[in-house]
Amino acid sequence: MLAFAEPATEEAFSPHQGGTALIVRTIDEAQKSVRVAAYTFTSRTIAEALADAHQRGVNVQVVLNESQRKSRSSVAGWLADNGIPVRFNNHYAIMHDKFIIIDDITLETGSFNFTKAAETRNAENVLVIHDDPKAVADYTKQWEKLWDEGKEK
């Protein structure tokens, strides 16, 4: 029987209480894969962490709400220009998800949109869950559904 570590959590809040820093640190720990589902994505800091992971050889994929396709402030084009596959999901009125799956063992979720406003103006939260195979499997199944429904640029 395989033994797993006990699930552990980390949390951060905003404004200015470490939300972006926790997300970036979690992405920086990725060794194999990063799967992102995001309603709004305008944070250059988080985008740069994804690009750095991609440059390290981590398989990074991003699915965004359809509104991000034409948004001037979206980092979608920048991510694609840096070699990261991006899809846009228009299957719902809004795809309001905000989560990241890292190395099939770590899950980042919460109300925190991947935006500068989330870090500097809004009251939002970030929860990172380590070593919870069931939660990660459930979110992975949802991410794959969103990705499969999405369309490329």
Q: Reduced to 3 states, what is the DSSP secondary structure of residue 45?
A: helix
First-to-last CA distance in the chain? Answer: 44
Residues 6+ apart with CB under 8 A from 37: 62, 63, 64, 95, 97, 98, 99, 100, 142, 143, 146
Q: How many CB atoms lie within 10 A of CB 17?
A: 16
Catalytic machinery residues:
96, 98, 103
Tell me the angle at which helices 19-28 and 44-55 cross, rounded to the nearest 10 degrees. 10
Q: How many CB atoms lie within 10 A of CB 82?
A: 16
Angle of CA points 57, 147, 66, to nearest 5°: 110
